[in-house]
């Protein structure tokens, strides 16, 4: 609905002439952010029930499953205290990628900082906005976190492959699949869609070019179109991948602690 922007600048936070339920989306997003941050922080520090399968003392007859919060699994030196969790050495990579994501910035600026809480709604900063400078300059690191995120996608591919290698009766391994395999595979799918729809990756592929030339240019243009098509749904992939990575960790936690049974499909 149309609003008087000049009047809104003089009103208090959240004042608007809108008559729709504009506050539902930012409240829901804020709740999702807070719940995930609290859960991921707890799981990153608890240092238990993040792996099971062959090679471990938990379910030795199973395939190897590793929580995505702990991927890649870092082996710490013996002199490191036992309460130090290996997850803190790897979680900064996906956290940095999501924190500096172009879509995520808009989402948590509005949901957590109310800046602005919604379109045509009075914000907190009003006339004090100076862009992403000073403390917020770290947002420019997104392109570098993107390189690490692509690496994490391939690491997750490896973990899904490991989740398909089940111990055979005569020794060695054979192909198998369980509910846990599907959980990790779905998490990999949405993580890959989120990463490969990244604005920075799209710019890296073709955003700096005025024209695609030659056979290599045609191939590059095809990749750029594919990335652009995925980019249209980047926000959806952000939330879906956030849910699936949390659920994958939760599922492995429950199975490893004996609360759930991981049913083998074949």
pLDDT tens per residue across span 160-198: 999 999 988 877 889 999 999 999 999 999 999 999 999
Question: Rounded CA gap, 187 and 241, in Å?
Answer: 6
Q: How many residues does the chain have?
A: 266
Q: What single DSSP character describes residue 204?
A: I
**90 or 211: which carries more pLDDT confidence?**
90
pLDDT confidence of 130, banded at 50, 70, 90?
low
Output the DSSP codes for 207-260.
Answer: IT-S---HHHHHHHHHHHHHHHHHHTTHHHHHHHHHHHHHHHHHHHHHHHTTSS
Residue 172 exposed, middle or buried by CB count within 10 Å (0-12, 13-18, 19+): exposed
- 178's torsion region: left (phi>0), alpha (psi -120 to 50) or beta? beta
For residue 72, is pLDDT > 70? Answer: yes
Q: What pLDDT is stored for residue 6 in this prediction? A: 54
For residue 241, is pLDDT > 90? Answer: yes
- CA-nearest of 31, 168, 169 to 112 is 31
Q: What pLDDT is stored for residue 82 in this prediction? A: 80
Percent of the chain whose predicted confidence (pLDDT) is above 70: 89
Question: Rounded CA gap, 94 and 113, in Å?
Answer: 22
For residue 124, is pLDDT > 80? Answer: no
Q: What pLDDT is stored for residue 54 in this prediction? A: 78
Q: Which of 44-53, 55-64, 163-172, 221-230 has the lowest mean pLDDT?
A: 55-64
Question: Rounded CA gap, 265 and 164, in Å?
Answer: 11
At 81, list the tokens.
Answer: 């205290």
pTM above 0.85, yes or no: yes
pLDDT confidence of 129, banded at 50, 70, 90?
low
Q: What single DSSP character describes residue 167?
A: E
What is the chain's mean pLDDT, rounded? 87
Question: Rounded CA gap, 171 and 97, in Å?
Answer: 41
**230 or 170: which carries more pLDDT confidence?**
230
Q: What is the mean pLDDT of residues 202-213?
A: 75
Question: Rounded CA gap, 65 and 52, in Å?
Answer: 5
Read off the pLDDT of residues 11-38 as tens digits, 9 standing for 90 and up: 677 778 888 888 899 999 999 999 999 9
Residue recorded with tokens 């002199």: 79
Q: What pLDDT is stored for residue 180 in this prediction? A: 94
Q: What is the mean pLDDT of residues 146-154?
A: 96
Residue recorded with tokens 């690490």: 148
Q: What pLDDT is stored for residue 236 in this prediction? A: 97
Q: What single DSSP character describes residue 134?
A: G
At 47, list the tokens.
Answer: 């240092």
């Amino acid at each position: 609905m149309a609003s008087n922007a000049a009047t809104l600048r003089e009103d208090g936070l959240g004042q608007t002439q809108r008559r729709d339920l504009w506050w539902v989306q930012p409240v829901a997003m804020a709740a999702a952010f807070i719940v995930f941050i609290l859960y991921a922080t707890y799981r990153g520090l608890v240092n238990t029930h993040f792996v099971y399968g062959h090679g471990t003392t938990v379910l030795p007859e199973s395939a190897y499953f590793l929580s995505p919060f702990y991927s890649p699994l870092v082996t710490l030196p013996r002199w490191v205290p036992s309460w130090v969790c290996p997850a803190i050495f790897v979680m900064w990579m996906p956290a940095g990628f999501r924190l500096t994501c172009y879509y995520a910035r808009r989402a948590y600026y509005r949901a957590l900082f109310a800046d602005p809480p919604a379109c045509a709604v009075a914000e907190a900063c009003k006339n004090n906005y100076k862009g992403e400078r000073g403390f917020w300059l770290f947002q420019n690191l997104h392109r570098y976190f993107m390189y690490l995120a692509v690496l994490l996608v391939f690491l997750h591919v490896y973990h899904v492959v490991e989740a398909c290698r089940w111990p055979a009766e005569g020794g060695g391994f054979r192909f198998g699949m369980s509910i846990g395999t599907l959980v990790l595979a779905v998490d990999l799918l949405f993580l890959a869609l989120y990463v490969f729809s990244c604005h920075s990756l799209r710019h890296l592929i073709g955003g700096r070019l005025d024209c695609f030339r030659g056979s290599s240019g045609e191939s590059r243009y095809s990749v750029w179109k594919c990335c652009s098509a995925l980019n249209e749904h980047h926000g959806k992939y952000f939330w879906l991948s956030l849910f699936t990575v949390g659920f994958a960790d939760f599922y492995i936690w429950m199975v490893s602690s004996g609360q759930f049974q991981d049913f083998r499909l074949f």
